[in-house]
A = this chain, B = another copy of it.
């Protein structure tokens, strides 16, 4: 499983404040801790203020790159902000995101193609997320027509089949799991990437619900997760999942993490019986 660190996100209150106040220490700290916890990319989102997003994004990128070499996931719907950001990054970034919307495909996909980036592709084409796995796949197919046309190889595409909360629709996770399996079957070279936490919006014990969904999404074929890499219990669940699914030869990653104390304390051995 590859991890995209989700913490540097200007739609979060504390991060928005840090950006507005140019609080470099706060941002550096988020970057360093996610890198130390094994993030494969760091998502960088400067918020959605149209007048400031471009400058804010450049400020974030510069800071984060001073702190770590982990590649970035440039998170913006604004093609101009993305274009200037791509010019500033040291490592080829991921772009977050395109969707089936013609505007995004027309304006963002050429940047992805030109710079050889990976790209997150949301399985939606308007404001509303399609209800069924079949309708999401219809969008996904149109996106792959466009990415292939643009010369972006399938293995640079990270499909996000999207998940909505179980609180309003108990079939939400099943729809997403079906979509994950369908993407895997139809586009075997492509990746499946998911921000998990929407699944538990409005529910209690969200971390538990998210971890449980993580296990099932991983089994279904998700290979990239947008999460907080500092969440030790989530990480422990991920290591256990990969081992149970036979993807950890001789259980080496799991047992090494245990010896290094990387599994959360509560995940230690049960009481003797």
* A residues lining the B interface (CB < 8 Å): 7, 12, 14, 166-167, 170-171, 173-174, 199, 203-209, 211-213, 215-216, 219, 228, 231, 233, 236-237, 240-241, 243-246, 248-251, 254-255, 258-259, 263, 266-270, 273
CB closest residue in chain B, given A259: B204
CB closest residue in chain B, given A241: B212
Contacts of A199 on B, CB cut-off 8 Å?
A: 244
CA distance A269 to B269 in the complex (A): 23
Contacts of A171 on B, CB cut-off 8 Å?
A: 246
Neighbour of A207 across the interface among B12, B174, B209, B267, CB < 8 A: B267
Contacts of A241 on B, CB cut-off 8 Å?
A: 212, 216
Taking a contact as CB atoms under 8 Å apart, the answer to whether B167 and A206 are in contact is no
Contacts of A249 on B, CB cut-off 8 Å?
A: 170
Taking a contact as CB atoms under 8 Å apart, the answer to whether B244 and A206 are in contact is no
Contact flag A236-B208 (CB < 8 Å), given A173-B244, A216-B244, A243-B166? yes
CB closest residue in chain B, given A242: B212
Taking a contact as CB atoms under 8 Å apart, the answer to whether A254 and B203 are in contact is yes
Contacts of A248 on B, CB cut-off 8 Å?
A: 170
Neighbour of A215 across the interface among B170, B212, B251, B270, CB < 8 A: B212
Q: List 12 A-B contacts (CB under 8 A).
A: A7-B273, A166-B251, A170-B249, A171-B246, A205-B236, A205-B268, A205-B269, A207-B268, A209-B254, A212-B240, A212-B241, A231-B270
Contacts of A14 on B, CB cut-off 8 Å?
A: 273
Taking a contact as CB atoms under 8 Å apart, the answer to whether B273 and A209 are in contact is no
Beyond A170-B248, A204-B269, A205-B263, 8 additional pairs, beta carbon < 8 A:
A166-B251, A203-B255, A204-B268, A205-B267, A207-B268, A209-B243, A216-B216, A266-B266
Contacts of A203 on B, CB cut-off 8 Å?
A: 251, 254-255
Question: How far apart are A39's CB and chain B's nearest CB, in angstroms?
Answer: 16
CA distance A255 to B165 in the complex (A): 14
Taking a contact as CB atoms under 8 Å apart, the answer to whether B246 and A170 are in contact is yes
CA distance A216 to B214 in the complex (A): 11
Taking a contact as CB atoms under 8 Å apart, the answer to whether A244 and B166 are in contact is yes
